[in-house]
Amino acid sequence: MKVDEATVRHIARLARIRVSDAEAKTFEGELTGILQWVEQLDEVDTDGVEPMTSVVETEMKKRTDEVTDGGYAGDIIKNAPERADNFFVVPKVVE
Amino acid sequence: MADATPADLISGATGDWETVIGLEVHAQVVSKSKLFSGAATAFGAEPNSQVSLVDAAMPGMLPVINAECIAQAVRTGLGLKAQINLESVFDRKNYFYPDLPQGYQISQFSRPIVGEGEVVVDLEDGGSVTVGIERLHLEQDAGKSLHDQHPDFSYVDLNRSGVALMEIVSKPDIRSADQAKAYVTKLRSILRYLGTCDGNMEQGSLRADVNVSVRKPRGELGTRCEIKNVNSIRTIGLAVDYEARRQIDIIEDGGAIHQETRLFDPDTGATRAMRSKEEARDYRYFPDPDLLPLVLTQDYVDDLAAHLPELPDRKHARFMADYSLAAYDADVLVADKEAADFFEAVAGGLDAKAAANWVINEVMGRINKEGMAFSDIPVSAEANKAILQMTADGTISGKIAKDVLDIAWKEGGDPRAIVEQRGLEQVSDSGEIEKVVDEIIAANPKQVEQVKGKPKTLGWFVGQVMQATGGKANPKSVNQILRKKLEL
């Protein structure tokens, strides 16, 4: 699969990563290379094989419905660059 | 897919148009703790006080699913007569927003927990329409952004982050704003009966994304627009009507509809495009590697099915069969589970029709007038039953019954004690009534003359007698005695 520059820019925008024109060109080649390397797996016939979801045969763990966590707003916002009254403060996002 | 009835069509310059509507309803699951963490879900807590490190997406944290949320989703699926999928998968839906700390929402994409079902929607004209359910899946709610705290900044509270939601997706079977409103009303009623969502739209426990397109009757489907986050039943109707008209006007002016996400502004009554959502629609779903597939057994599902409460449709049928209620009375009572329960507590052993009238007109009338919740009712079902028993056995008149309810409502107290202490017992003793009747006849010769020619004016005499006895006279006895004395 060939990744073109428009795709690089689209992915970058979705991931909120700013890329320069020169970088976009570089990533075009790098991403194409990575995908082509992974594409070698297409040679294996996986028809009728269930996707493996875990290395060991096991069931998903479940919790009982109890409140066991929370109550430390100070810790939650401790690393926030901006905060006020235990809220995170971010640039205005409103439509 | 159903066709619109002629009444549902909208007329445009080029003829009639049909509106095609599908709804995605987000219903907050009733549970003590969140879908994947042990933080609390209660509404209205201090900012960020109900947030675990999982909900804040701290590095290295792993989600562990809440068994009750799974049960609630299955119960809801059963209530919607839907296919329960014994194996479902959680996926990551990737997008950036300040109130989504993970950078993705854990949701279910290609393999939801619940598949196709249906809801029978009762319409105001007495008819009904069946709306297909496409699917129901479990997902995490995002946090909450507050935009009115500061001119330049938004404030983010993650208390809601990670709370379990059920997204219930309808098929595009809805044909008018009224049908859309009736569908959400019925869905909310089912969720409340099941106890799986409190349905409180003011607090955001239930909100809808509305997909609207228009077409010529039975023509090809048009391009749809999605109106996001509509949060009241009334607004759903307004948004559908506005959006359908907007699309018809564009098409009739030679334009084309572009698929887009829009917002409904309750202040202007209009929808407008949400620019930011367009490119972000590429969500790059993939199975969440932190979570194994969710596998249920048929025994587990059967056990939940066996313990499902009675749902509105079945209760409606039972009220009509067991209590001989009219369809309309059953509708009114069943729409609200608490009203239905209250009615049953009152009605046992009494005339059911009288009990239904009493609950609908007197009890629900007072509740609606005061805008209170059924749970806050000041006069218990037992007390209401006592009032009706006293009416049925002739202890008090129908009019006095309402007075007794008023007194108990405002001042509290046991209705039987109220009647006894205030001497409100009905006077059926004909001697006493006869005395009053004689006085009134003697004092009003003109009316006596009139009633001979116009027997309908007897009502005036009844009113006088009731007034003279403080409403305590037995109306039946009053009528009999009046007729006898006036020789009617």
Of A52-56, B59-63, B107-111, B355-359, the poorest mean pLDDT is in: A52-56
Query: B116 to each of B113, B192, B316, B436, how far by Cα in Å?
Result: 11, 20, 24, 70
The end-to-end CA distance of chain B, in Å, is: 63
Contact A16 B33 (CB under 8 A): no
pLDDT of residue B257: 92
Of B34-48, B106-120, B239-253, B448-462, the poorest mean pLDDT is in: B448-462
Whole-angstrom distance, CA of residue B215 vs CA of residue B175: 11
Q: Which positions 89-108 of B are in contact with A (Cβ < 8 Å)?
A: 94-98
pLDDT digits (tens, 9 = 90+) for B21-59: 999 999 999 999 999 999 999 999 999 999 999 999 999
Question: Which member of B33, B97, B146 has the closest CB to residue A67?
Answer: B33
Mean pLDDT of B290-316: 96
Res B200 pLDDT > 70: yes
Contact B39 A70 (CB under 8 A): yes
Residues 6+ apart with CB under 8 A from B236: B23, B177, B180, B181, B184, B208, B210, B230
B148 touches chain A (CB under 8 A): no
Whole-angstrom distance, CA of residue B287 vs CA of residue B221: 32
Contact B49 A61 (CB under 8 A): no
pLDDT digits (tens, 9 = 90+) for B384-404: 999 999 988 888 888 889 999
Contact B240, B46 (CB under 8 A): no
Nearest-neighbour CA in chain A from B351: distance (Å): 44
A63 touches chain B (CB under 8 A): yes
Res B1 pLDDT > 60: no
For chain A, give the mean pLDDT. 91
B270 touches chain A (CB under 8 A): no
Of B237-251, B351-365, B463-477, the poorest mean pLDDT is in: B463-477
Residue of B nearest to A94 (CA): B147
As a CATH number, domain B430-486 is 1.10.10.410
Question: Which member of B38, B69, B287 has the closest CB to residue A69?
Answer: B38
pLDDT of residue B397: 83
Q: What residues does each domain of chain B span? A: 6-303, 310-421, 430-486
B238 pLDDT band, cuts 50/70/90, is: very high
**Chain B residues close to A87, C-beta within 8 Å:** 47-48, 146, 149, 155-157
**Chain A residues close to B38, C-beta within 8 Å:** 63, 66-70
Q: What value of ipTM does the predicted structure carry?
A: 0.89
Residue of A nearest to B284 (CA): A14
Of B76-80, B400-404, B409-413, which has the strongest mean pLDDT? Answer: B76-80
Query: B53 to each of A68, A84, B57, how far by Cα in Å?
Result: 12, 19, 6
Res B383 pLDDT > 90: yes
For CA atoms B80, B84, B85, B90, the dihedral sign is: positive
pLDDT digits (tens, 9 = 90+) for B186-198: 999 999 999 999 9
**Chain B residues close to A10, C-beta within 8 Å:** 279, 282
Q: Which two tokens stand for residue B186?
A: 């019925």
B209 pLDDT band, cuts 50/70/90, is: very high
Could you give all domains of chain A from N- to C-terminal order, each with its CATH number? 5-41 (1.10.20)
Res B277 pLDDT > 70: no
Q: Which positions 359-388 of B are in contact with A (Cβ < 8 Å)?
A: none
Enter the pTM of the model.
0.84
**Element spanning A31, H or E:** helix A21-38
For chain B, give the mean pLDDT. 91
Mutate one of B154, B261, B282 to test the A interface: name it (highest A CB count within 10 A).
Answer: B154
Q: How far is CA B233 from the centre of its chain?
A: 9
